[in-house]
Each structure stands twice: as C-alpha cells, then as structure tokens.
Structure 1
Amino acid sequence: MKSSRLLSILLLLQTRGRMTAAELAEELEVSVRTVYRDAEALAAAGVPLYGDAGHSGGYQLLAGYRTRLTGLSTGEAEALFLTGMPGPAAELGLGRALSAAQLKLRAALPAELREQADRMRLRFHLDAPGWYAEHEETPYLAQVADAVWRGRVIEVRYRRWQEPREVDRRLEPYGLVLKAGRWYLVAGAQRPEGAAEPRTYRVDQILSVRETARECRLPEGFELAEHWRRTQEEFHARLRPEEALVRLSPRGAARLTGVQARALAAGGAPDPDLAGWTRAVLPIESHAQAEEQFLALGAEAEVLSPPPLRTRIRNTLEAMSARYGAGDLHP
C-alpha cells in the first residue's frame, strides 16, 4: 500500500540519513520512478524532505526532523516481542536494557497492539540450545562483546583441540554469533603484515582476555551474517566431501535429515526400475560413516555407487547373514 510505503521511506531516511532514489527503490522493491512520485507526495504533505542531484546526491530529511510514528502493524509488534531473548541478552550484560526497552515499547503501543504483544510474550518462548546440550560457561563473553562493540583489539589465551592446547592470540574482533546456544567470536588474528582472514573462535574456550587501546575496523565489505552463511556452507562441504548414488524407498527417503534431505529434495528423481522409489546423489562424509548410515536404513535403501562402498556394505551383510544363519545360537 502507498501509505505504508511512504511511511517506510520516512523511517528509512530518519534512521539512515541520505539515500539515493535507487537505494530507496532497491530497499522497497519498487521502481525509481515510484520513489520520485512518493517523494513528491511526502513533500506535498509537509514533510521537510529535500533532494540533491549529482553523484553524491540523494534524498534527506531536514536536520533535526523526526517523526514519532512507528507504523507498527499487529504482526510487527508481535515479532518485536518474539525476538526478545532474555537468556542471550543477560549473557551479554544487556538483560536489564532489554527489559527496559520492551517496557517502553509496550507503553508506546496502542491498546490493541499491546494486547496482541502480551499474548505473544505469554504463549511463545524461544529456547535456542538443543536437547542434551550442557550449558557452557562463558565468563568473558561480556568483555568480548564490549570489545566488539567498541572496536578494540583484544589479547586472549585460547584453548584449542590440537597441540599446543593453549595459545595466545591478539585478535581484531568483528562480531559475535549465537549458534545453537553457543557463542562464537568472528575475528582476525593480528600479524606483522596485518590481520589474517576472519576465523571463528568459541567464546567458552577463551581462558583470559585483555582489551587493548588499539582500535580495529571491519575489513572492507565485511558483513557478519553473509560471512557466517558462507562459513557454514564451507563447513558442510568439508564435512561431506564425497557422494553416493542411492535408491531409496519412500520410508527410507523420509528418514534422511540435514544436508542429505536437502540434496534429495533438490536432485532426487523417480527410479525407473522400482515403483515409488527415488534415485538420488547424496553427500557422504566417508565410506565408513556411509556404511553405518545406509545399513541403518535396512531394506529401505540400496547403494549403487561408488563400487567400494557397495562392496563394503555387501561384505558386512554377508558376514551378518553367516552369523545369524549359523546353527544353534550361542548361550
């Protein structure tokens, strides 16, 4: 709707400052011509909006102008309260700040939206960690978060899985990520020639931290969410570097999970020889791991290739058949 789009333009300029028509069009997923018409409508309504032509031009609100409108819909108000995670906020030392912000937001909402937000808060609870996962103490999380926020180089003593187990590192912190209840620091290790490529460090494995007076800046073009997405893709690619061609019954296909289920959904095709079955190329970690996985599917799966994996499974099945087919059972 046009009214919603006009309010979005107003809030974008209020929060981001000067923006070109092309930037606004991309953000709102409309044409540049539509942005021009919307800007004229805002100016006609008395909004102190002005635009400059040229390479460094764009639209901007008059200095000091701010609107008190939030433009929140019912769903948006509910979503804001749903994103409030008291556990992680408390770990970062922001528990009280989060509670105060929610209280202020609730007080500013109209009665109808306040009722909807309260219902969301009472009926939904976010618990990020998985089952059976023990809580890891992160005594230095608040200090690391402060260094990330202030852009300060930190010196840490870090425990890793390989020898030497404990190492000293001087890090340029770029961001913190909460994944499945565990905090990770994305940082570049400082070297004489400059900071290295960003790497990932578990915050619960930091044994000591000291913030220095030296400032650090994000690498040019670095975006934490995009870096993390790419890191996860690379991790899964390394985790399952091989592939297997497999036949799967409907029950066998339904029991696949994770990256294999996604591979089946993306590239599976009906098997021409077996009605109802699917033929798919699935990523596997190793032949040993794949043998255990596909044997667990029993008669609901058949590995067609690679030949060494098929042979390995056949040998295991022959050994099992000989054992279970032998005469009397051992006492």
Structure 2
Amino acid sequence: MSAGRLLSVLLLLQSRGRVSARVIADELGVSVRTAYRDVVRLQDAGVPVYAEPGRGGGYQLLDGYRTRLTGMSQGEARALLFAGLPGPAADLGLAAEVTAARLKLLAALPAGLREEAARTAAVFHLDAPAWYREPEQTPYLTLFADAVLTRSVVEVRYRRWRAPQEVRRRLRPYGLVLKSGVWYLVAATENKVATYRVTQVLDAVPGDEQFDRPPDFDLAAYWTSYLDDFQKRRFTGTATIRLSGRGRRRLPDNLPPEVVRAVDATATPVGDDGWVEAVIPTESTGHACGELLRLGVDVEVVEPAELRRAMADTVDALARRYGAG
C-alpha cells in the first residue's frame, strides 16, 4: 500500500470537495475497489472522511478539515512544469507525479483560487500529435529525460538519413523538445551541439560519466535557430506554377505553409478564369512533384523544365497504369 497514494486521495478530497470512488480511481489510476479501500484506510487513520449516499453522492472531508502535508517530492517538483501537459508527461514517465503535484498545488490554494484553477483546467486541453498519424513510439525517452536532468552521458546507436545510416554517438543531453507530437533530443558531441529525433535511436545505454551543461546554453533560443537553419537548408530551389481558384483554396490542406505564404506573396492573375501564377520554394524535383500532384488538375508547373517533365512523366505513367494512355 503506497502512503503517497493515500496522501493523494486526501489531497483530492481536500481540493475537489465531494468526489466519487470512480473519480478517485480514475485520477490515481487504480481500481474502484482499491479506491474504496484507500478511503477506509484514511478513516481508520482518523481522517474525517464521510460518505454521502445517493445520486450525486460521494466522499468528502468534514467541513473545515485541511491537511498541511503539501510538500513535494523531487519527482513531483520535476513534473510541475508538465501539470497542464498530461500527454507529454506520460511520455516522460511522469504521469503519476503530475497527478500528485497537481493535487498538492490545488490543495495549497485558497478556495476561490482553487475553484478558478479547476475551471481553467476544465476548458483547456493539449493534444500534441498531428492529424493523420499515429503517435511515435519512444522507448528511450524516459532514459533521455533522466539523463537531461542528471546531466549524465548516454551512448547511442542512431539511424540517420545520409550514409552511413547507422552511427554511434556519445552524447551529452542538453534538453528535450516536443514538436508536433515528435520528440527531439538536443545533445552535444565532442564537436558540436546537434538535434536527434528520438524515434531514430536504435539503442541507448546510460554512461557512468556526468558533464557540466554550459551555463549560457538556452534551449529555446537553440531550437529557434535550428528551425531557421532547417528551413534555409530545406528549400534549395524555386518553381513557377499556375493554380486554379479551387487549387489555391486547397493549397493550405495539401502543401506546407511556406508554399502557401509564397503563393500569397507572389500570385498574379493569368487570364479571366481565376487562375494565378506564383513562385514557390522547392526542396527537390522529386519532392516537389509528389506534393504538387496532390492538387491534380488544379495546378500546372511552368518551370523549371525538369520539374515540368517529372510531372508529365508521372501523369503519363498513371494514365498507362489505369489504361487511359
């Protein structure tokens, strides 16, 4: 039996007022039967918990009773920053600590502020993963989180996009970033600070060496700089395209925002049928061809010639595949 869980039940009663056994069970991740037993143990310990029977009933503390046991453990203090982010907290292995920390915070607030905090929590929810894809599996995420907090070196085997694809690295983890449901590790090697997609880590072993993180390292500033550099490296060319009115309306749902902004900035009318001509950034011929084909007959590539040929070759191949060529 966890004394910490009993304290969580007590703080839940103190912060919520009347709660059912089902609510206690759901909040603490236990069965309803275990919730009943926990309440009985609190009563046996002299805590004035009484049951209100009937519809809308539940358990509550005697009016005026408050506990002062609101001190936080180290894990709960770490989890405090994730109190409004249950999904990421669970990814990092801090789900139970977040629940306990949140209850202790609520219990320490005056009644008016506690009610306001509860109302605020009820109307905001974060769902980090993007649409149309499953959440990524990150078996080494909790290991990296611990390494970041304890400043411990980690040995990893990592799969990257360029050859050689599998590399080994000895990393000094500086921080973790959650971007559109994808976790990234920012870490230093002997030569530089780099970014690693956590799902691309094939193996990770904690080392026995600790390191000093540079006092002037700013994770948020690094990430902003990394994104700016990524965009510069990502788009290496341009293309001139023509879009129908429907194609332009479909653009935000099918192409990156950088392309949408470029169309908005450079679009000029072509003829009287609603078509426009614009210049867009491109990554490569193959990538641009695949993305623009999503718009079907509502887009035409004017130049470069290489991309126009790639579009025509793909359409011809599709026509032959479907017996229309």
Shared fold per TM-score greater than 0.5: yes
Contact 1:245/1:280 (<8 A) preserved: yes
Q: CA deviation at 1:181?
A: 2.9
Q: CA deviation at 1:282?
A: 0.9
For residues 201-235 of structure 1, give each alpha carbon's deviation from its aligned partner in whole angstroms, at most 9, with x where no partner exists: 233415232233432222x7432122222223333
The 1-side partners of 2:155 and 2:249 are apart by 46
The 2-side partners of 1:82 and 1:149 are apart by 14
Return 5+ residue gaps in structure 2 as ranges.
Answer: 1-79
Alignment RMSD: 3.4
Given the alignment, which residue of 291, 294, 303 partners 1:293? 291
For residues 169-202 of structure 1, give each alpha carbon's deviation from its aligned partner in whole angstroms, at most 9, with x where no partner exists: 2222211112233322111112xxxxx2211223
Corresponding residue of 1:84: 84
The 2-side partners of 1:82 and 1:221 are apart by 24
2:202 corresponds to 1:222:
no
Corresponding residue of 2:72: none
- Any idea what SS the aligned residue of 2:145 has? helix
Change (3 A) 1:290 1:171: closer
Corresponding residue of 2:133: 132
Normalising to structure 2: TM-score of the pair?
A: 0.61
Q: CA deviation at 1:318?
A: 6.7
The 2-side partners of 1:319 and 1:165 are apart by 32
Corresponding residue of 1:157: 156
The 1-side partners of 2:141 and 2:298 are apart by 47
Change (3 A) 1:145 1:293: closer
Corresponding residue of 1:248: 243
Structure 1, 156-165 or 237-246: larger mean CA deviation: 156-165
Question: How many residues of Structure 1 are paired with residues of Structure 2 in the alignment?
Answer: 238
The 2-side partners of 1:319 and 1:91 are apart by 44
- Any idea what SS the aligned residue of 2:189 has? strand
Corresponding residue of 2:278: 280
Give the percent of matched residue pairs that are identical in Structure 1 and Structure 2.
Answer: 41
The 2-side partners of 1:248 and 1:144 are apart by 46
2:199 corresponds to 1:201:
no
Q: CA deviation at 1:137?
A: 3.7
Give the residue type in structure 2 aligned to 1:253: R
Return 5+ residue gaps in structure 1 as ranges.
Answer: 1-79, 191-195, 327-331
Contact 2:154/2:173 (<8 A) preserved: no
Q: CA deviation at 1:135?
A: 4.0
The 2-side partners of 1:325 and 1:170 are apart by 55
Change (3 A) 1:302 1:157: closer
Contact 2:83/2:102 (<8 A) preserved: no
- Any idea what SS the aligned residue of 1:243 has? strand
Given the alignment, which residue of 193, 207, 210 partners 1:211? 207
Contact 1:247/1:280 (<8 A) preserved: yes
Q: CA deviation at 1:301?
A: 2.0
- Any idea what SS the aligned residue of 1:227 has? helix
